[in-house]
Amino acid sequence: MTDAPAHRPTMGDLPLADRIARAMPVLLVPILLVLGFLAIGNPSSWLTLTVSGLAMGMMIFVMASGLTLVFGLMDVINFGHGAFISVGAFVGVSVVLGLAEWTQAPSLLLNLGVVLLAVLAAMAVTGLLGWAFERVIVKPVYGAHLKQILVTVGGLIVIEQLIHVIWGPDEIFFARPEMLKGAITFWGAALEKYRLLAVAVGLVLFVAMRMIFRRTKIGLIVRAGVENGEMVEALGYRLRLVFIGVFIAGSALAGLGGVMWGLYQEVITAGMGEEMMILVFIVVIIGGLGSVEGAFIGALLVGLLQNYIAFLEPKVALISNIGLMTAILMWRPQGMMPVVKAK
């Protein structure tokens, strides 16, 4: 046997067209921003709609991130995810209503304090609920997609009915904390304070998730597990435990998204999570199942497009996201940033 020749490999640069094609999903957001600007024409209206779209996108991302990871890691389709959104909203709003003095006080500190407590309570309850949901409902149906759909839809219905039992059958109207009401004016555009907060929270969360995925071992395990769970186990990691952790975290994030959405709408219903799931599924599918980055870009596209179209052609707004999904799936049938599965 001969020895290998001296081996000095280099990595050639990709042609420009390939580099653009690879970066295209990320470029879609600025492209949509520019197209929206050109179509709307009025800078202040465009800015208002853009902030509104980004806020909506961020909230959908918060709800979708857990679902995409749960699917990516264990091939579990969880239609019950919507229940965590509703429960999160009800628990969070209960805190907001329970601390009425803090909510109504004209103090930013107290107002943010009540929102923080609402978020923590919602995430704790939905995290626990997610843990129980995984143990009781999801665990027995690993690997069987049809059964997963049936039992998780069943779980969703049961939890919605439990919300009726605990909080009553009616929708709950409430007011946002005092200092989060109203808007600020920037370059002639009215920007709702709460939407700015939602954008900030979504951004912080996305950056934090990216840091966890890129810089920590647990993040590496999750990313590798999405691609090839069997090999992760062969390296000595108990993927089942990691999955339970991801399921709990994903449920807690859905709860966070529920509180944020509830505070945004100022009305909550037991069916709100189920209604949001249509947008959440669109985002997860166009992003590429299992891809957090894809879900982030998908959520921004959905939020921005819905707001722009609602302004330009209100009648088309209802189908705009279905149209977006159709277009993206025709372009990339696996979604924008598909995770290459080894199985």
Partner 1 sequence: MSDPILRLEGIHTDIAQYHILHGVDLEVPRGAVTMLLGRNGVGKTTTLRTVIGHWQARAGRILFDGAEITGAKTPDRARMGIGYVPEDMGIFSDLTVEENMTLAAATGPLDPARRDRIFEAFPPLRTFWRSPAGTLSGGQKQMLTIARAMAEERRLYLIDEPTKGLAPAIVSTMAGALRDLKRQGASILLVEQNFAVAKALGDYAAVMDDGRIVWAGEMQELATDAGLQERLMGLSMEAQ
320: amino acid identity, one letter: S
Using DSSP, state whether 172 is helix, strand or coil: strand
- Of the candidate spans 54-62, 170-178, 215-223, 262-270, the one that interacts with partner 1 by CB under 8 A turns out to be 215-223
Q: In what helix (H) or strand (E) does residue 85 lie, and over which residues does it extend?
A: helix 81-98
Q: Are 238 and 68 in contact (CB under 8 A)?
A: no
- Contact status: 231 vs partner 1 (CB under 8 A): yes
Which residues, numbered 302-341, are part of the site for partner 1 (CB under 8 A)?
A: 339-340
Residue closer to partner 1 (CB basis): 164 or 238: 238
Non-local (6+) Cβ contacts of 35 within 8 A are none
Instruction: Give the x-and-dash track for 5-34 against partner 1 (CB under 8 A).
Output: x-xxxxx-----------------------
Which residues, numbered 238-267, are part of the site for partner 1 (CB under 8 A)?
A: 238-239
**Smallest Cα–Cα separation from 253: which of 84, 129, 114?**
84
φ, ψ for residue 186 (rounded to 5)?
Answer: -140, 120
- Contact status: 234 vs partner 1 (CB under 8 A): yes
Q: Are 48 and 190 in contact (CB under 8 A)?
A: yes
Residue closer to partner 1 (CB basis): 113 or 338: 338
Q: Report in angstroms how near the CB of residue 41 gets to partner 1 at its nearest.
A: 41
Candidate list 16, 17, 146, 235; residue touching partner 1; CB under 8 A: 235
Candidate list 106, 143, 236, 314; residue touching partner 1; CB under 8 A: 236
Residue closer to partner 1 (CB basis): 23 or 35: 23
Secondary-structure breakdown of the chain: helix, strand, coil percentages, each rounded to the nearest 5 = 75, 5, 20
Residues composing the chain: 343
Residue closer to partner 1 (CB basis): 40 or 69: 69
